[in-house]
Amino acid sequence: MRQAEKIRLVVLISGRGSNLQAILDQAASGELPVEIAAVISNRPGVLGLDRARRGGVLAVELDHTQFADRPSFEAALIDAIDRHQPNLVILAGFMRVLTAHFTAHYRGRLLNIHPSLLPKFRGLHTHERAIAEGETEHGASIHFVTAELDGGPVIVQARVAIHPGDDPDRLAARVLAQEHRLYPQAIRWFAEGRLRLDGERVLFDGQPLDAPLRMENLSPRN
Ligand code: GAR
């Protein structure tokens, strides 16, 4: 791995936080050059907040139901994030739709993980829909967040086969195992300065990607 300065990271969650846990583990072991400044959940009392506290990370509850509307919630969220001056903000199972104002504020330093091979299956219930549509493969994507929901430029994907007779829970579990490899990888690249958003394109090592990187094709040195 290349030497990299630690970047300051803020993680937004809404629930279980298993992706957060993968990142906490790699940050603690030194594999990931990040300092996790805060974990913020729009839902109080969720497991991901406990995971943050157990990892010695500031856990912040910002209950969106306590705000009159989306803009006032987002103003408070921006305030809660920006007090930590993060280099990178990531959505890790954060289940609120974000306005164009929010996504513009963090443009180029906001990543999301989505459980499908984007642009397929934006939105919810991706595993059920992939099975129902007779897909033979499925997976997860990391993308830069732009104003379009699940529509920003994709950086890297991991694929899993859909087996005959698969059910959504089993498929979701296999995809999730890949997610836990995918997010740390993308964050490491960002921390190493290898990843940039240039207009609507992703630059990787300074070169535009004409297709998302594929996790299964990466050499261990990546
Ligand atoms: C993950 O599968 C993530 O890809 C998905 O929520 C789950 C969160 O799990 N995100 C979305 O659907 C975003 N549209 P986790 O809380 O255990 O990391």
Ligand 1 touching residue 92 (CB < 6 A): yes
Ligand 1 in reach of 14 Cβ (< 6 A): no
Separation of CA 91 and ligand 1 centre (Å) = 9
9 neighbors 35 (Cβ within 8 angstroms):
yes
- Which is the catalytic residue, given 64, 84, 114, 143? 114
pLDDT of residue 219: 79
Q: Give the nearest ligand 1 atom to 179 CA.
A: 4
- For 28, residues 6+ apart whose C-beta sits below 8 A from its C-beta are 55
Ligand 1 atom closest to the Cα of residue 19 is 18
Q: What is the pLDDT of residue 194?
A: 97
pLDDT at 36: 98
CATH number of 7-217: 3.40.50.170
- Let me know: does 145 contact 111? Beta carbons within 8 Å: yes
Domain boundaries, the chain: 7-217
Does 74 contact ligand 1 (Cβ within 6 A)?
no
114 catalytic? Reply is yes
Q: Is 43 in the pocket of ligand 1 (CB under 6 A)?
A: no
- Nearest-atom number in ligand 1 for the CA of 150 is 14
> CA 62 → CA 146, 186, 189, distances in Å?
22, 26, 29
Is-contact 8 170, C-beta < 8 A? no
CB of 113 within 6 A of ligand 1: the answer is yes
pLDDT value, residue 5: 83
pLDDT of residue 2: 56
pLDDT in tens, the chain (222 residues): 555 689 999 999 999 999 999 999 999 999 999 999 999 999 999 999 999 999 999 999 999 999 999 999 999 999 999 999 999 999 999 999 999 999 999 999 999 999 999 999 999 999 999 999 999 999 999 999 999 999 999 999 999 999 999 999 999 999 999 999 999 999 999 999 999 999 999 999 999 999 999 998 887 767
